[in-house]
Structure 1
Amino acid sequence: MSSAQSTVGRDSELALIGAFLERAGGGLTALLIEGEVGIGKSWLWRESVRAAEERGYRVLACQPTESEAGVGFAGLIDLLSSWVDDDPTDLPEPQRRALDAALMRRSTEAPVGQGAVAVALFSVLRLLARAAPTIVAIDDPHWLDVPTRQALGFALRRLEAEPIAVIITRRKDWRADALLEHVPVTRLAVSPLSLGATYQLVHARLGVTLARPALVRVHETSRGNPFFSLELARTWIDRGGVADVGHLPVPERLGDLLPRRLEDLPERTRRVLLLTAAMAGPSVGQLQEAMGRPVEHDVARAETAGVIDSSDGTVRFTHPLMAATVYDAATAAQRRMVHRELADVVQDPEERARHLSLSSLEPDEALAAALDDASARVARRGATDVAATFAERALEFTPLGEHDATFRRAMAAGVYALAAGDRSRARALFERAVADAPPGPGRAGALRWLAELSTPLGHGLALCDRALLDAGTDAAVASRIHRTKGAIAYFLGDVPAAEHHAGLGVELAERSGDDQALGMAIAELAHWTFCGGGGVRRDLFERAVALDGSAGASSPRSHLAKVVMDNDGHDEAREFLTLLLDETMETGDLYAASTHLFHLAELDVWAAEWLGAIRHARESLQLRQHLDQSGAPLYAEAMARACLGDVDEARSLAEAGLVEARRAEDVVFCMQNLHVLGFVELSLGNHEAARALLGEATDLMRPRWNREFGDCHMVPDEIEALVALGELARAEDLVGWMDEVARATQRAWTVATGARSRALVQAARNDLDGADASLERALTAHERLPMPLELGRTLLIRGIVQRRMKRRAVARETLGRALALFEGCGATLWAGRARSEIARLGVRSTAQVDLTPVERRIAALVAQGCTNGEIGAALSLSRKTVEANLSRSYRKLGVRSRAELVARMSVPRESTSTPGATRA
């Protein structure tokens, strides 16, 4: 239909589209065209694409269909079809290789990760947008294949500044599209046509003039829906054009109109339409080959009936409902026959496999073998979700009694499902493999996979024991099982057991001759040795990295970075992790990248860069969003928010993490989430609650993980709560333990916090001189420890001790230094405690009238007219935290309203300084 004929009643929608395109180009933005079926979304989408091209945008467009939803990267191929002839030359080689495989531009035997394609798409979109403003236009994204959807979602989350606009359509009964989750959206709700517009539409499209009674009946029945208005009018015409409203044929349901129109077409034409519905955008030539006879007459007849359109060389239905109606109208046997015929004529192996998978209900080894081949092919292209589907269908078609084939296909499908992030699906497939496998190394491998996926973790140990019995003398399989058992033991809190099994893993890997497996086994042994108090074994790590220099989540370099980090080598660890992150993002190993981001978030927490920690934690969570493993990033964000004083959000995150950790029997994350909750209570001065939470965490750690604290920092916090409650016996016992570990490891953190803890006990027993000496030793250790919050807490305690020693001037200076550190990093609750201690000296500190950096940022946003909700979103703070900071700012500045605050902030003030406010 012509543009002039179609603009009937759509002036307001077209105006909104024009306005959107005029202002797009300054950064990532989106237009969401939404409405009910048949309302005209697709036409408005096409008009948007046309208008964008007229304005000079580069347009990447695709219109996925239901038949294409199971084709790996079908949507991506459509989107980037124009880019194929305009290939940027500066795409990194790993990304170019991944994209070439996904787009089927060249075959590859080396497997490509789905994440690598996502990273490559991100790079391509950024390159194209920098050359020209770009539109990504998708009609019916509901039918996008999963690999394309995941890759596009990854890219859009990172394209904030580039001049890219996204235009998509959405039916009202579909959920808000996740592609736009982090994109500013302009919504275009497509409204029904008026009575007059319906009249013009029918006249323009069908060349008839409805009498008013018939027109009113059409409009009321269709509720102004243009698609159904035309269908009703066609029905009226087909029944002889009786104008009497009483004779206008109106079905009980509007959906009944489409089958009626198809019934009027000849059988051979309906056969062509069924083939079209079963194929992914066929050409007339492909339909002719499938039918084995000329089809031009049937295509023309269907076009005249308004069912299909072949004007661009591809035969497509005029509306998705048409395709669904044609396909659903056929019997199950007819559909299977069509897919069997298509499997014999299509050239692409993956499309042939899809048709084969839909062509039979009976076991068929030849069909299963073809699906095997297709799953391997699509996996090499990075579409692991589709590969898992093909592999599962191959499993379904495997004849009964073929146990070897059943086992092999169940294992392949499980590995693909796991690569796609579907852990529950993978677990079920590995269980199927175990059930069909005889005893031996093969079943041992399946049991090991199940052990890695087991919940609770204790069940994984039992599975490993079963696997070891099956592994027999196969050193490679047994080595991997021992390594898995060691990792599970670590998360269960049994470090000696982790060391033991890692050592066995090394011995067996040396016998197997697999250098990469040996490198990973040695790195794990070095890691668990550190956790057991054996220090940083650089010799082991150097050997491991020489054998395997990869950047994966479990690679030797990753283990080394974590150990260096836990041994207080923060700067070295940050360099390691940043490099590993860059490498894994370039190659598309998104799970590894998320692991490196999590460790960077931990480093940020310790360095008091808490907003950075939140950003890193959220990015880590985004990268693993298709996995059911969110605990680690959420824990890091929870601790950052606890340090910032955002207690409600910290509690919420940590409580959720604790529930999940208890369900999994994950002792490490139980300890860490208990630590967050206990630290929140300690920061608030709720010592009884803090002692209970922190004591539980310590009791989980101490029995078998007692020679190195690593990243488990809860013990000094528990000691502080115990001293506040007067429970000195347990406090002294824990201090003795910390002293013992500090002497053995000489770690700065253990020495500093252990000496501070001893000072607390000494001060509680009125040994103030001893406490002061212990605090002096702590401060010396702090010089090697880039952890401002820990330093501030040590200074706070020393200031209190000095006040009790009647050294008021020195105490004032020490407490001032503590306050400056707390305010400098935004530790609001601890800053409040420091101010209270300064107030007890009876001397007003000039720091009291200065705003903290967080308070200044909030005040500046208030001056810009931001609401509390907008301020919280900008600074990653809860609304309650924003309100609390504003209240403190009001008190400090002597104002009572936002208006007075803005006025006060606009008046230049002389700078003030706090004694000892320089960063220690």
Structure 2
Amino acid sequence: MTSAQGTVGRDMELASIRAFLDSAGGRLTALLIEGEVGIGKSSLWRETVRAAEERGHRVLACQPTENEAGIGFAGLIDLLGSWVDESAAELPEPQRRALDAALMRTSSDAAVRQGAVAVAVLGVLRTLARSAPTTVAIDDPQWLDMPTRQALGFALRRLDAEPVAVVVTRRRDRLADELIEGLPVTRLAVPPMSLGATYQLVHARLGVTLARPALVRVYETSGGNPFFSLELARAWIDRGGVADVGHLPVPERLGDLLRRRLEDLPDGTRRVLLIAAAMAAPSVQELQEACDRPVERDLARAETAGVVDSSDGIVRFSHPLMAATVYGAATAAERRMLHRELAGAVRDPEERARHLALTSPEPDEALAEALEDAATRVARRGATDVAATYAQRALDFTPPGDRGASFRRATAAGVHAMAAGDRARARALFERAVADAPAGPGRAEALRWLAELSTPLGQGIALCDRALQDAGTDQAVASRIHRTRGAISYFLGDVPAAEHHAGLGVELAEGSGDDQALGMALAELAHWTYCGGGGVRRDLFERAIALDGSAGASSPRSHLAKVVMDNDEHDEARSLLTLLLDETMETGDLYSASTHRFHLAELDVWAGDWIAAIEHAEESLQLRQHLDRPGAPLYVEAMARACLGDVDEARNLAEAGLVEALRAEDVVFRMQNLHVLGFVELSLGNHEAARAFLGEATDLMRPRWNREFGDCHMVPDEIEALVALGDLARAEDLAGWMDEVARATHRPWTVATGARSRALVQAARNDLDEADATLERALAAHERLPMALELGRTLLTRGIVQRRMRRRAVARETLEQALALFEGRGATLWAERARSEIARIGVRSAAQVDLTPVERRMAALVAQGCTNQEIAASLSVSRKTVEANLSRSYRKLGVRSRAELVARLSVQREPTSTSSAPNG
């Protein structure tokens, strides 16, 4: 049976494809066509493309080959070439410029970021999908070049509601393709063909009718594989068409069949095919120029033999296996020589570089220069992976005696490798650069790069010290080295050293004449000064931003956002970070965007919006997965999950982050992950385990920076665990430290949590009146602190103290406020603790018992005269949530208005006890 466009015996598969396309109009979805080699995946892929076009889809199609895998954005040119004019006009200028460069529509000396291309691709897909369903179809995506793969993967992961269908093929023995990872996938397994379909296929494609004995032998030997069946049938035809089963030639390996078909072609034709296999989908004209003679007759012979198809002017092999067989028939030496010949014949500099990269790397300065130039060109287009490869090969071709060229090329290759996220390769290249360079500023800069790449971080200190000796009188280089040393010192936990080297960096930058470097040095000095207890140096930040207003992760604005965030100025921090995120996403600075998202995740954790925090953290990790260590996003997602009571996942993430932090000697993220693990145990009431984790974190912090807590929030948690265990001596000591820092900084977080910690110690010593008064001061500080969980914990502590003072009604109200906060945020473990404390007080009247804790808290705020909007702001919920809860309260209490509700509550209010006698 014959299906559309000559597809034989695949009616069920074609029906599945049509059903997929008919259901794929409203959201992002994927179709995976998988099966063994030669089973007909490409034929079904082409039918999918045809069917999508019939349905009015915009189809972005690409059939990459192995030879194209090393050409930067080759796949993207195929996918977007015919659509970019229609879709790119709406893109921001940085993205439009990046896309034009990637697609080789324009040339420019200004480099573009690979991330900018990725963001542009996302914009193009969204623009196309707004006007019509869009299908992205890739046959055999394993051969996509890495820049295209990364850009397309970035875009697909961020689509959701857009009507985009992704269609890919895959050999059954291949791993799942990351392009469709996480997408809703429809799998279409392509089974062997039936005997009847095999008969139809051979008849339709080869124009012959096999007698049944021969047909059965072909079918059984091929296992129903259409490609194998056609090759076997061709072999039968070539041997005279003898139908007797005993005479059917059936080699054990398909490669033997393919090679035999090639052996029947003239030597000249095989040479033309070898050159075509070494090129990346050449046109007939390009192939003729490479062969330096007419090739039409050779192509005609090859087409008759079913080896290639050049009907549209592009020479394509009938199957990837055929191209691989042609290329593999040549020896390695013959292939290297061929690529060297092609490098001299092709016109495009990047195509020439690809061939040079596949030749034997014999010292040749001219070839090294060609590869060096190609690396620069490719880097300007944003294809950093390919640029790193070409730069590495340029270094390999460099004559051994030219140390200056070797140093320059090793350094350039290292920079490209860093941009591509290949830290291991970059480290090796900078080590080679250092070995080839004489003492001086150049070697100092290479040593500084090595310091930034050092793992563990402690190695970076020694490298910076070596670099400073080489820098000599070059103030610009020395300034950068001091700044790097300062940043490493910070992550090692040595804030005084960070502040010292940042100050030296500023002094040297002042004399260098580099405004941007001076701006960054000033911002780093302001940041480390804050961590050392020096407060928010707005004067330094204002000067730094005036010199450098960029939006990168290390820019002055980014440092300011982090400092005001740590200083509890959350609204300003959120505004800054949101703006920085928008700017870096627009320009494609994905690493910086990941940093800004990470800090937004921290803000969300503190604000109690833990679902948003998880989303920010996961996106931050996605953005930096090829670029940097994942420790930061792991820690903040772990804390969000810990707050939600998802203790198993929180532990897993924090333990993974801790392993990474220990490997890198990163003290900051070691403390943060220890804090998460300790907070989990504290939330569960496992105070001994909590003390172990939290005590280790505190002991890492206290000797290094002890005048400001910044984002290190573990000390109040350790004090709570210590009090529960009866270790009042250490608890008193840490509470005294918090008191001292609070008096010096006046930060709301330090004042509020420090007072709560002090009150815990006072209550443990049975000084309940002092504890209650201290908690009153803590709650006053909480009014300036938008941290819902911390407020809930302070209310919980005060409710316990009030219960012990036998102020039962007040204690209940305080505990119910805490419970409302915990429940409203989803803090399940802390909500359970609040319920347990409420249960210890006793029960209310029947009418009050009917109300949930959240409803009772809202009713109490109504009684205080608060509007719905004020109640929503107080409890950090939406106005609709307030209205819904009050409506339920009215029904339960049998009232119709706010006035009746207040009157009912005043009748039921319990008398307040003034007794302050302790009651353990």
Same fold (TM over 0.5): yes
Query: Deviations along 1:225-261, whole A, 9 cap, x unmatched?
Result: 0001000111111111121111211112122211111
Moved more, 556-565 or 452-461: 452-461
Is 2:214 the counterpart of 1:214? yes
Supply the distance in 2 between the matched residues of 1:848 and 1:81 (Cα, whole angstroms): 68
1:6 aligned residue: 6
1:780 aligned residue: 780
Aligned pairs for 1:521-600 within 5 A: 521-600=521-600
1:322 aligned residue: 322
Moved more, 88-97 or 725-734: 88-97
Is the contact made by 1:479 and 1:504 (CA closer than 8 Å) also made in structure 2? Answer: yes
1:134 aligned residue: 134
The letter for the 1-side match of 2:252 is E
**Pair 412,774 (structure 1): closer, same or farther in 2 beyond 3 Å:** same
**Pair 849,378 (structure 1): closer, same or farther in 2 beyond 3 Å:** farther
SS of 2:784's partner is coil
Instruction: State the shift of 1:341 in Å.
Output: 2.7
SS of 1:671's partner is helix
The letter for the 2-side match of 1:541 is F
**Pair 5,554 (structure 1): closer, same or farther in 2 beyond 3 Å:** closer
The letter for the 2-side match of 1:134 is T
Structure 2: runs of 5+ lacking an equivalent: 855-887, 895-900, 907-920
SS of 2:511's partner is helix
1:763 aligned residue: 763
SS of 1:306's partner is coil
Q: What TM-score do the two structures reach when normalised by structure 2?
A: 0.92
Is the contact made by 2:455 and 2:664 (CA closer than 8 Å) also made in structure 1? Answer: yes
Aligned pairs for 1:475-874 within 5 A: 475-843=475-843
Is the contact made by 2:819 and 2:853 (CA closer than 8 Å) also made in structure 1? Answer: no
Instruction: State the shift of 1:390 in Å.
Output: 0.1
1:262 aligned residue: 262
Structure 1: runs of 5+ lacking an equivalent: 854-905
Instruction: State the shift of 1:5 in Å.
Output: 6.9
Supply the distance in 1 between the matched residues of 2:345 and 2:825 (Cα, whole angstroms): 67
Supply the distance in 1 between the matched residues of 2:553 and 2:130 (Cα, whole angstroms): 32
**Pair 85,789 (structure 1): closer, same or farther in 2 beyond 3 Å:** closer
SS of 2:89's partner is coil
Instruction: State the shift of 1:86 in Å.
Output: 2.7
**Pair 847,68 (structure 1): closer, same or farther in 2 beyond 3 Å:** farther
Supply the distance in 2 between the matched residues of 1:189 and 1:751 (Cα, whole angstroms): 63
Query: Deviations along 1:339-370, whole A, 9 cap, x unmatched?
Result: 22322232211011111222344111100000
Query: Deviations along 1:724-771, whole A, 9 cap, x unmatched?
Result: 111111111111100110000000000000111110111111111110
SS of 1:442's partner is helix
Supply the distance in 2 between the matched residues of 1:378 and 1:190 (Cα, whole angstroms): 39
Supply the distance in 1 between the matched residues of 2:229 and 2:102 (Cα, whole angstroms): 42
Query: Deviations along 1:563-595, whole A, 9 cap, x unmatched?
Result: 000000001100000000000000000000000
Aligned pairs for 1:79-478 within 5 A: 79-478=79-478
Query: Deviations along 1:272-309, whole A, 9 cap, x unmatched?
Result: 11111111111111111111111111111100100001
Is the contact made by 2:87 and 2:127 (CA closer than 8 Å) also made in structure 1? Answer: no
The letter for the 1-side match of 2:631 is G
Supply the distance in 2 between the matched residues of 1:397 and 1:501 (Cα, whole angstroms): 40
The letter for the 1-side match of 2:116 is A
Query: Deviations along 1:95-148, whole A, 9 cap, x unmatched?
Result: 000001000101011110000000000001111111211111111100000000
The letter for the 2-side match of 1:801 is V
Moved more, 773-782 or 327-336: 327-336
Supply the distance in 2 between the matched residues of 1:88 and 1:371 (Cα, whole angstroms): 31
Query: Deviations along 1:314-341, whole A, 9 cap, x unmatched?
Result: 1100100111111110122322232223
**Pair 347,161 (structure 1): closer, same or farther in 2 beyond 3 Å:** same
**Pair 668,41 (structure 1): closer, same or farther in 2 beyond 3 Å:** same
Aligned length: 864
**Pair 5,513 (structure 1): closer, same or farther in 2 beyond 3 Å:** closer
Supply the distance in 1 between the matched residues of 2:428 and 2:850 (Cα, whole angstroms): 62
Is the contact made by 1:5 and 1:201 (CA closer than 8 Å) also made in structure 2? Answer: no
Supply the distance in 2 between the matched residues of 1:781 and 1:723 (Cα, whole angstroms): 22
Is the contact made by 1:824 and 1:852 (CA closer than 8 Å) also made in structure 2? Answer: no
1:867 aligned residue: none
Flag as ranges the 4+ runs of structure 1 deviating above 6 A: 845-853, 911-916
Supply the distance in 2 between the matched residues of 1:217 and 1:565 (Cα, whole angstroms): 75
**Pair 849,441 (structure 1): closer, same or farther in 2 beyond 3 Å:** farther
**Pair 826,84 (structure 1): closer, same or farther in 2 beyond 3 Å:** closer
Q: What TM-score do the two structures reach when normalised by structure 1?
A: 0.92
Is 2:22 the counterpart of 1:22? yes
Is the contact made by 2:3 and 2:9 (CA closer than 8 Å) also made in structure 1? Answer: no
Instruction: State the shift of 1:57 in Å.
Output: 0.8
Is the contact made by 1:8 and 1:200 (CA closer than 8 Å) also made in structure 2? Answer: yes
SS of 2:166's partner is strand
SS of 2:70's partner is coil
Instruction: State the shift of 1:87 in Å.
Output: 4.7
**Pair 5,148 (structure 1): closer, same or farther in 2 beyond 3 Å:** closer
Supply the distance in 1 between the matched residues of 2:528 and 2:476 (Cα, whole angstroms): 21
Instruction: State the shift of 1:39 in Å.
Output: 0.4
Supply the distance in 2 between the matched residues of 1:619 and 1:218 (Cα, whole angstroms): 52
SS of 1:485's partner is helix
The letter for the 2-side match of 1:89 is A
Instruction: State the shift of 1:851 in Å.
Output: 7.5
Instruction: State the shift of 1:201 in Å.
Output: 0.8
Is the contact made by 1:364 and 1:397 (CA closer than 8 Å) also made in structure 2? Answer: yes
The letter for the 2-side match of 1:613 is A
Moved more, 755-764 or 236-245: 236-245
Task: Note the aligned Cα RMSD (angstroms).
Answer: 1.9
**Pair 119,848 (structure 1): closer, same or farther in 2 beyond 3 Å:** farther
Moved more, 202-211 or 734-743: 202-211
Instruction: State the shift of 1:81 in Å.
Output: 1.2
Moved more, 537-546 or 200-209: 200-209
Is the contact made by 2:361 and 2:393 (CA closer than 8 Å) also made in structure 1? Answer: no
Is 2:77 the counterpart of 1:77? yes
Instruction: State the shift of 1:21 in Å.
Output: 1.1
SS of 1:169's partner is strand
Instruction: State the shift of 1:66 in Å.
Output: 0.4
SS of 1:512's partner is coil
Is the contact made by 1:95 and 1:586 (CA closer than 8 Å) also made in structure 2? Answer: yes
Aligned pairs for 1:41-52 within 5 A: 41-52=41-52
Supply the distance in 1 between the matched residues of 2:169 and 2:559 (Cα, whole angstroms): 46
